[in-house]
A and B are shown apart, each in its own frame.
Chain A
Amino acid sequence: MSKPKVCILRSAGTNCDRETAAAFEMAGADTELLHVNRLTCGERAFKEFQILALPGGFSYGDDVASGKILANELRFRLFDGLREFISGGKLVIGICNGFQVLVKSGLLPGVESASGGLKQEASLIMNDSGKFEARWVYLKSEGRCIWTKGLKDLIYLPVAHGEGKFVVSGQKVLNRLKKNRQVVLKYCDGRGRLSGYPDNPNGSLAGIAGITDRTGRVLGLMPHPERHILSLQHPRKEKRAGLKGDGLGIFKNGVEYARKNF
């Protein structure tokens, strides 16, 4: 097929939309920056796309809690289209604020409750340090997710958030995440070992930085892969033009999968 189409969903306060689009384009996709109002008014629909990306930023100012208002908009205004999109085998990625939206809407870890709606079983709350922090972190990739398949064991990406501490509603949820291999990115030190602050920048449970749903097609992560698609962006590597960064592989995986399957 031709280039997969990515919907980069915007709302009031989205601010990583342009670089996320640039990363997807570099990975070989066509992108469109789409405001959520176009979906809620029915003018446009998720089904026009193969990939949905929820970029970073401060949707609706992160008022009430980070990602909460947009999560509710997806749950209560756009759920049918979104359910169809995901059950149709398409791909979703939520980065930083996008991850917060996915978790707070219940799309991640993603177990449907009896009533047919989604249940929030995890959350991303205020960093243990009590403040917003921007820093580079090492991540170990594992688990079963089409977005992180075949990445290097250890990748290096920046985080920039105030509410990124991953927590779950109970031990059972964590056990299930582990059993299903839904934990796909973990904060670690430069040698790949689990570690404390600042390697784990926010105090996340078990160092969890990114998770997927049961299908492995929906990824949410706090770090910003779109900010390391060129080696020029790396804080220490010798500056050389043309070399790629660690984050690009994630976008390439998504685009490659969409190209093969649709």
Chain B
Amino acid sequence: MRYKIEVVDKPGVFDAVGQGIKKDIRDLGIAGVRDVKFIQVYLLEGSFAEAQVISICRELLIDKVTQDYKIIPETFKEPSRSTRHVVEVSYHPGVMDPAEESVLKGIRDLGIPEPESVKTAKKYIISGKLSSVQLNTITEKLLYNKLIQYVADRFTSPGDVKNLPGYDFKLVTVDLLGAADPELLKISKKGQLFLNLNEMRQIRDYFRKLKRNPTDCELETIAQTWSEHCYHKTFRGNIDYREKKSDPCLGDMKIKSLLKTTIMKATRKLDKDWCVSVFKDNAGVIRFDKDNNVCFKVETHNHPSALEPFGGANTGIGGVIRDVMGTGLGARPILNSDVFCFAPPDLDFREVPSGALHPKRVMKGVVSGVRDYGNKMGIPTVNGAVLFHKDFAGNPLVYCGTVGMMPRDKSFKKTNRGDLAVVVGGATGRDGIHGATFSSGELTHESETVSSGAVQIGNPIQEKKVLDTLIKARDLNLFSALTDCGAGGLSSAIGEMGQELGARVYLDKVPLKYSGLSYMEIWISESQERMVLAVPPENIDRLIRVFADENVNAAVVGEFTGTKKLELYYREEQVCSLEMDFLHGGIPSIAKKALYLQIRHAEPKIPRRKNYTSDLLKLLGHFDICSKEWIVRQYDHEVQGGSVIKPLVGLKNDGPSDASVTKPLFDSNKGLILSNGINFRFGLIDPYWMAAGCIDEALRQIISVGGSLKEVAILDNFCWGNPDKPDRLGGLVRAAFGCYHTALAYGVPFISGKDSFYNEFSVHGRSTPIPGTLLISAIGVMDDVSKSISMYAKEAGSLVYLVGNTRDELGGSHYYDLYRALGNRVPRVYPGESNKVFSALSRASQKGLVKSMHDCSDGGLAVALAEMSFAGGLGMEVFLSEVPYVKSAGINNETLLFSESHSRFVVEVAVEKQREFQKQLKGLPCGLIGCLNDKDRFRVRGMEGEVCLDADIASLKEAWQGPLKW
């Protein structure tokens, strides 16, 4: 028997979901909707007595205070009228419905036998006059995503999944032996393997030696292991680099492994004793205190987020959390960081590329996805950034980072011969097939349909359960190694863990969500919330019990053998037998060409003015600069109780913090500082200086909150276009060298990194790359968090200093962006000078001489001063004549206000500390530029003493808060 139950709000109860959608419909430009009502639907299948169904409704499914229920007869069809439209959305069969397990448990707790199946659906009743075109627009743009859901137009049958056909084993082989080049390419393309001709030939030759054809599973395993996503071919391959007209000139060169020549080389040269494990494990590990280490990893999840923003971001954050959980012998996640790049949310619908979602929908979906997973995992999201450019319209960037903590003696893993391979966590389904290879190609307007299997659905509570039990098992020393199942699923996880020893896996022993999966689907599925453990046989019973005690599945699926082979079986039949050496070492070396041509951009013609107040107001409302409070508040940034400097600070807790400071241990004041640097605009002029500037930005934020560079590690995350195109790769090489030189100069090692390529969106063959974007994430250890400093102005009467030189560097600035120009004079980094400024300010903070400090970045000095002033609710009077600068013809009020020169800080100092502060800064570029007052006026006088900025702080704040106040 099937029951359809609708849960409806009682009259008078505020329907927040419905009201939110009503607002979104208005944002679509569709008028005439009077009301939207949301109804939660449950579909139960099973044999119940009527009283039992009523009891399930009354005691479980409704909130008796605010809701009623209706049991809808199977034959009933909801009438749609011209002014009352009904849309009901359910998940596709096979897509995990997170609520299902909880409803089943709830029914069991009522003492009622479990039904055969439970599904949920969402029903929307939209009242108002709408054309069918408008209704379709609303449905497609707001109410469902066709990749994972469908709109029901009749009574839909629950339990579809149970009716999926079973699976009859049949070994599939692929005819490679006789394949000539054109066929090889066809096989690669048809199988979505994203392997090039050279690689396909290498595979063919390997199997010719074995005198047999590969199975489908063998070919897939190789494709995944060799994918850009897993193997990082570009960063590890050979590059023939040439450049023209660049400054600094790197010279033409042949690079063997860009990674080893730049990023890893900086770390090796710096050789810090507090770096525990770098570029080896899932995340980079550094020392925290005498008992604990911390690890940090940042990942991207761009392509999945382009197709399904909520699911993509959701599993993106879920994945990076698992990376940290799988570092060493398991770390506890303590902080999250999230950085996004979107097209502007007010982009005209007509400018959205065909096949892409509107950026506002992408942004809302991504934020919800991160909110859902991060909050439910109980990890505070304390740091982030959001940037906008129209070329992210088809390919947004979603960076997710997680910091974890582990005891020092749990920081290394080693798989031993004879260890059992154990899969823990979620069951395996058909979700996320081909994720690793899919992210190694470009997105097209057809990706939505072709790669729909690549989208995964997250279940954060499942992951939280795995985390809780994993830490228990770790502390009982029950396993010897672990890793997470990420891109490539079991294939990648077991392939990696068994790299040295070899592994044998019985695929029919992997727990499944539903029947019907082939051996290959089991092997490559990217179902979420799974980890693989290597467990000594004598511990297996205890280990399984630790997980079972909290309802987490743990299943033995194989063992690590010592044969140095990857052997897979399905019900006694061998389906894969590959030598680990070939799998991990057989990839042919790659040679790519890179060419960097310095382009000359037009300089803007901006009429010289006396007063720049309207520019400042526009800058404060620039999407990059404006308040991100709408996002930040949706993340729980206080959970775990360690937040000291929060993402929003100020008199009303709403100013923009520079970096976060966290106290991760209850019984110690030792802290962690987290910051990031990102600015693709500089990269449009020169990726070398973008990279240098990103490192500077991340580091100066650490200084701003009172930290020092003593123990600071950084991470690189490159998101780039297609590296097979020499111009894209040329920029990447420059950025990597910018990283190398700057990291060395500042003495900060890279401990981990990641790259994401093929970030291009092509419509009918015309490809638009994203602006090459580098995110630098920094983590610093702080000895005493009670010395930390926030950015908002504290006290009327205090002195305001600017520390660090301003230069004629308006290229790539947000000020130029207001005039749709880029310019050429990109800000450069001068570590010789800045290192001294950084350490002097660190010392001043330690001595308690600093009341507040804010770094100058997007929008330059004018924006930094304004933010400090309105966040603290204090007026400010500033004199540009006192600003320290490097002399050049271009220095004037405009450059002093808006140049985004690096390594600069606005510092508030109490009058009584003036002398001592100045003593610390002696010999360095430091100017006493103004003071704070208790009036509401923000006023800046130009080099000649004339007023060039003048506004009341409320209007500045309003301009800054307005754009994203959704």
Question: Is B a genuine binding partner of A?
Answer: yes
Which A positions have Cβ atoms within 8 angstroms of B?
A: 10, 12-13, 15-16, 18-19, 22-23, 26, 35, 37-38, 56-58, 60-61, 63-65, 68-69, 72-73, 76-77, 104, 120-123, 125-136, 158, 160, 165, 167-169, 203, 224, 226-227, 229, 232-233, 235-236, 239-241
Supposing A123-B65, A126-B17 touch, asked if A133 and B785 sit within 8 A by C-beta, the answer is no
Can you give 24 A-B contacts (C-beta < 8 A)? Answer: A12-B550, A15-B464, A16-B639, A22-B641, A26-B666, A61-B102, A63-B101, A64-B60, A64-B102, A68-B106, A77-B109, A123-B66, A126-B14, A130-B17, A131-B634, A132-B375, A133-B634, A134-B633, A135-B633, A167-B65, A229-B641, A232-B786, A233-B638, A239-B787
Interface residue tally of chain B, by bracket?
35 or more
> Across the interface, which residues of B come within 8 angstroms of A236, CB to CB?
649-651, 653
> Across the interface, which residues of B come within 8 angstroms of A65, CB to CB?
63
Given contacts A16-B641, A76-B111, A232-B663, 13 further A-B contacts (CB under 8 A): A19-B639, A37-B550, A122-B65, A128-B14, A129-B16, A130-B20, A131-B20, A131-B634, A160-B638, A165-B14, A227-B639, A236-B651, A241-B786
**Cα–Cα, bound, A165→B13 (Å):** 11
> Across the interface, which residues of A come within 8 angstroms of B539, CB to CB?
none
Closest 7 CB pairs of A and B: A15-B378, A63-B102, A19-B641, A130-B16, A123-B65, A61-B461, A22-B666
Is chain A's binding surface mostly helix, strand, loop or mixed?
A: mixed
Chain B, 631-671, CB within 8 A of any chain A CB: 633-641, 643-644, 646, 648-651, 653, 663, 666, 669
Q: From B109, B377, B634, B641, give the contact of A72 (CB < 8 A).
A: B109
The reply on B601 being an interface residue by CB < 8 A is no
> Across the interface, which residues of B come within 8 angstroms of A73, CB to CB?
109
The reply on B272 being an interface residue by CB < 8 A is no
Residue interface mask B723-758, A partner, CB < 8 A = 1: 000000000000000000000000000000000000
Are A64 and B103 in contact, with the CB atoms below 8 A?
yes
Supposing A128-B16, A235-B649, A241-B786 touch, asked if A61 and B106 sit within 8 A by C-beta, the answer is no
**Cα–Cα, bound, A133→B629 (Å):** 10
Supposing A69-B106, A235-B646, A239-B787 touch, asked if A60 and B640 sit within 8 A by C-beta, the answer is no
B667's nearest neighbour on chain A, judged by CB, is A22
Supposing A37-B550, A233-B644, A235-B649 touch, asked if A61 and B378 sit within 8 A by C-beta, the answer is no
A161's nearest neighbour on chain B, judged by CB, is B636
**Cα–Cα, bound, A57→B467 (Å):** 14
Supposing A61-B102, A63-B99 touch, asked if A224 and B634 sit within 8 A by C-beta, the answer is no
**Cα–Cα, bound, A133→B110 (Å):** 33
**Cα–Cα, bound, A209→B638 (Å):** 18
> Across the interface, which residues of A come within 8 angstroms of B669, CB to CB?
232, 241
The reply on B105 being an interface residue by CB < 8 A is yes
> Across the interface, which residues of B come within 8 angstroms of A77, CB to CB?
109
Are A239 and B551 in contact, with the CB atoms below 8 A?
no
**Cα–Cα, bound, A77→B371 (Å):** 32
> Across the interface, which residues of A come within 8 angstroms of B847, CB to CB?
none
> Across the interface, which residues of B come within 8 angstroms of A160, CB to CB?
375, 636, 638-639
The reply on B950 being an interface residue by CB < 8 A is no
Minimum Cβ distance to chain A for residue B648 (Å): 8
Supposing A76-B110, A128-B14 touch, asked if A134 and B635 sit within 8 A by C-beta, the answer is yes
Are A19 and B640 in contact, with the CB atoms below 8 A?
yes
A232's nearest neighbour on chain B, judged by CB, is B644
The reply on B913 being an interface residue by CB < 8 A is no
**Cα–Cα, bound, A58→B639 (Å):** 12
> Across the interface, which residues of B come within 8 angstroms of A23, CB to CB?
641
B468's nearest neighbour on chain A, judged by CB, is A10
Minimum Cβ distance to chain B for residue A127 (Å): 7
> Across the interface, which residues of B come within 8 angstroms of A35, CB to CB?
549-550
> Across the interface, which residues of A come within 8 angstroms of B787, CB to CB?
239
Are A134 and B638 in contact, with the CB atoms below 8 A?
yes
Minimum Cβ distance to chain B for residue A77 (Å): 6
> Across the interface, which residues of A come within 8 angstroms of B464, CB to CB?
12-13, 15
Minimum Cβ distance to chain B for residue A97 (Å): 11
**Cα–Cα, bound, A158→B639 (Å):** 10
> Across the interface, which residues of A come within 8 angstroms of B14, CB to CB?
126, 128, 165, 203
> Across the interface, which residues of A come within 8 angstroms of B99, CB to CB?
61, 63-64
Are B98 and A37 in contact, with the CB atoms below 8 A?
no
Are A12 and B63 in contact, with the CB atoms below 8 A?
no
B20's nearest neighbour on chain A, judged by CB, is A130
Q: From B13, B19, B64, give the contact of A120 (CB < 8 A).
A: B64
A78's nearest neighbour on chain B, judged by CB, is B109
Are A63 and B65 in contact, with the CB atoms below 8 A?
no
Are A72 and B376 in contact, with the CB atoms below 8 A?
no
The reply on B784 being an interface residue by CB < 8 A is yes
The reply on B428 being an interface residue by CB < 8 A is no
Are A224 and B638 in contact, with the CB atoms below 8 A?
yes
The reply on B513 being an interface residue by CB < 8 A is no
Chain B, 454-474, CB within 8 A of any chain A CB: 459-461, 464-465, 468
Q: From B66, B371, B461, give the contact of A12 (CB < 8 A).
A: B461
**Cα–Cα, bound, A45→B230 (Å):** 49
Are B17 and A15 in contact, with the CB atoms below 8 A?
no
Residue interface mask B880-904, A partner, CB < 8 A = 1: 0000000000000000000000000
Most chain A beta-carbon contacts within 10 A, residue among B14, B16, B17, B61: B16
Are A136 and B639 in contact, with the CB atoms below 8 A?
no
Minimum Cβ distance to chain A for residue B892 (Å): 38
**Cα–Cα, bound, A41→B650 (Å):** 49
> Across the interface, which residues of A come within 8 angstroms of B465, CB to CB?
12-13
> Across the interface, which residues of B come within 8 angstroms of A229, CB to CB?
641
The reply on B788 being an interface residue by CB < 8 A is yes
Minimum Cβ distance to chain A for residue B28 (Å): 17
Q: From A10, A13, A134, A227, give the contact of B461 (CB < 8 A).
A: A13
Are B643 and A233 in contact, with the CB atoms below 8 A?
yes
> Across the interface, which residues of A come within 8 angstroms of B785, CB to CB?
232, 239
Residue interface mask B110-121, A partner, CB < 8 A = 1: 110000000000
**Cα–Cα, bound, A72→B19 (Å):** 30
Chain B, 56-97, CB within 8 A of any chain A CB: 59-61, 63-66
> Across the interface, which residues of B come within 8 angstroms of A165, CB to CB?
14
B460's nearest neighbour on chain A, judged by CB, is A61
Q: From A58, A104, A125, A133, give the contact of B633 (CB < 8 A).
A: A133
> Across the interface, which residues of A come within 8 angstroms of B550, CB to CB?
12, 35, 37
